[in-house]
Chain A
Amino acid sequence: MERPDGEEALGLLRRMLLIRRFEERAAKLRAGGLIPGFLHPYIGQEAVAVGVCAALGDDAVLTSTHRGHGHLIARGADPARMFAELFARTTGYNGGKGGSLHMIDAALGFLGANGIVGGGIPLAAGAALQLRRAGRTAVGVTFFGDGASNEGSFHETLNLAALWKLPVLFVCENNLYGEFTRQDRHQLITDVAERASSYGMAGVVVDGNDVLAVRDAAADAVARANAGEGPTLLEAKTYRHRGHFEGDMGRYRPKDEVAAWMARDPIDLFAQRIQDEWDLPEEAVVQVRAEVEQELDKATAWAKEQPHPVPSGALEDVYVETYEGAVLR
């Protein structure tokens, strides 16, 4: 892809910052009792979601993981409705029935975060199949982790998608840990992308903390998919700064490893690069940071005012044609 101009570069930075600050605020709000349930923070991996989504057209269809906030924000979702969902309010993305692990934005082709490791992988391939049947050129994109690359759904789907040359991007965010277990204790390979060759598809490794490198690799994969050359397994090497979930302190990780990755923070790296490489006024990055805070102030304030669900609503949406909850046709 072409080198972005200054405005595009600031847009990428802004998106990464929005993810980072959204999640930092969510962690704080959860600690303050406003968010029930699980949170699996994406902090540290922002360049992957933002880089991949920058390479996609509006018609792409995406599936995500238990660590899904970053993907959703990168795709352009409304943080206010995301907060409303985390606060379990009726105007949240899922009407308060999904929470962090199931967040969707169907209008953005975002078919949902997923509470099952590897659960979203076959769904993206199936969506790509149907879109191709319907004559569309859209690609399916699925994000998953190194841990999910040991699941049956990963292997079955890669084989199927390669066999049928489905337009799918399999994006492995290798953050080196499957839950609490380091990669060398859950698989003997270092590069998950190696697995692509056994299915006859392209496998690419990219620096997942370099948003432009991710964007370019994803754009190449989209081009292959659109040219009928089938799927790509794109592995982004990255790191989560926090534990597996909020509350997990991540003490199973060596201190020097954490320090080395923190020194390569994707946002700091790109902010520095923007100042070094683009001819922008000095205040530009500062202003982006301020805009992000303003947007999130507004989003949380709005979400806090949203209505809670009524208990009887629990029996709605079980079926499209309701059954037992309401009317049996």
Chain B
Amino acid sequence: MSRFTYADAVRQAIAEEMERDESVFMIGEDVGEPGGVFGVTKGLWEQFGPDRLWDTPISEEAIVGAAVGAALVGGRPIAEIMFGDFVTLAMDMIVNQAAKIHYMTGGRLSAPMVVRMVTGTAGSTAAQHSQSLESWFVHVPGLKVVAPSTPEDAKGLLRSAIRDPDPVIYFEHKQLYGGRGGPAGDVVQVEPIPFGVGRVHREGEHVTIVSYLKTLHHALAAAEALAEEGISCEVWDPRTLVPFDHAGLRRSLTKTGRLLVAHEAVTRGGFGAEIAAWAAEECHDVLTAPITRVGARNAPVPYAPELESHVIPDADRIADAVRKLVG
């Protein structure tokens, strides 16, 4: 039986938005005829043809730069960076060009575009194919940053990202795709989801766990285990890191009084630091315990499975952190 996977969600969002708007097109390595290295764009080339899906040489800066140029003159490009690690080669075009054009020109030009990239580990993908670099982009005014955790959110948020008038950085987690190059799953109708609206995945009373992408699922598993110990966790997903649903997080913290942030990115300088700082400044009146972060330990992502699992946080590490927080 087929099912609706995260990969299906991304593919369907692109297809539906391409149907809706002629100016939407994709540009990237292997995105067209080959159907994408993760099979995410499979079938789109047959459906839309080479004018909508541009297979490029391995040239990350030119891919994103061409997308910026196209966006400036009426296109709605979706640029794909195959592995997020390779975005290092395109940083000028994202940080100095796309993010700044609207501002530098006093609002006279804008670059409505999406840069999709694959993030996180997939099991022994090692140091140059496993990183979680979202905090880099959160730090740059002018960019919006999306990190969907479920197929429904992946579809609804990508539809919004493609329609958004600003440059959007859109992260997809490798381990959430759910089947590589398999048959297309069910088509599920999902309306565009507005940016800046978080989602409560599980209601709880004792602690709010903020998480996104793959780690959100670890947080849900931890919450399930902790429930048997009488600890009630609220699991809250911001869905978009920029804009961030500050009001939604405050509502949750007002209820629980405790905050734990969990993500796959390195803890130091990670997005959790931003959430923690904001909560400390703006929610100290409702907080009853120190804010806690769980993220990757301070090392590049290693190859050996036992090393990787020591670095990357899992449900056990989240559960341990919650026990300390409520204990």
Contact = CB atoms under 8 A, between A and B. Distances in A.
Interface of A: 61, 63, 92-98, 102, 104, 106, 111-112, 114-116, 119, 121-131, 133-134, 140, 152-153, 156-157, 159-160, 163-164, 316-321, 323-324, 328-329
Contacts of B70: 126-127, 129-130, 133
B126 interface: no
Nearest to A315: B141
20 contacts: A97-B106, A98-B104, A102-B100, A116-B92, A116-B96, A119-B96, A122-B61, A122-B64, A122-B69, A123-B72, A127-B72, A128-B69, A129-B69, A130-B75, A134-B23, A134-B75, A159-B62, A160-B59, A160-B62, A319-B166
B66 A129 contact: yes
Contacts of A125: 62, 65-66, 69
Interface residues of B, number: 50
Nearest to B107: A317
Interface string B193-232: 0111000000000000000000000000000000000000
Most buried by A among B23, B65, B109: B65
B142 A61 contact: no
A228 to B, nearest CB: 15
B97 interface: yes
A115 B62 contact: no
B68 interface: yes
B61 A156 contact: yes
Contacts of A61: 73
Interface of B: 23, 25, 51, 54, 56-57, 59, 61-62, 64-75, 77, 89, 92-93, 96-97, 100-110, 112, 141-142, 144, 164-166, 194-196, 242-243
A122 to B, nearest CB: 2
B265 to A, nearest CB: 22
A319 B62 contact: no
A292 B70 CA distance: 36
A126 B103 contact: no
A94 B104 CA distance: 7
Q: Which of A63, A92, A106, A318 has the most CB of B within 10 A?
A: A318
Contacts of B195: 329
B65 A134 contact: no
A133 B194 CA distance: 29
Contacts of B103: 97, 317-318
B68 to A, nearest CB: 5
Nearest to B50: A164
A123 B164 contact: no
Contacts of B68: 122-123, 126
Contact of A98 (B66, B106, B194): B106
Contact of B107 (A95, A119, A324): A95
Scoring B96, B107, B110 by chain A CB atoms within 10 A of each residue's CB, the highest score goes to B107
A124 B105 CA distance: 17
A163 B27 CA distance: 14
A88 B151 CA distance: 47
Given A133-B25, A328-B196, A102 B59 contact: no
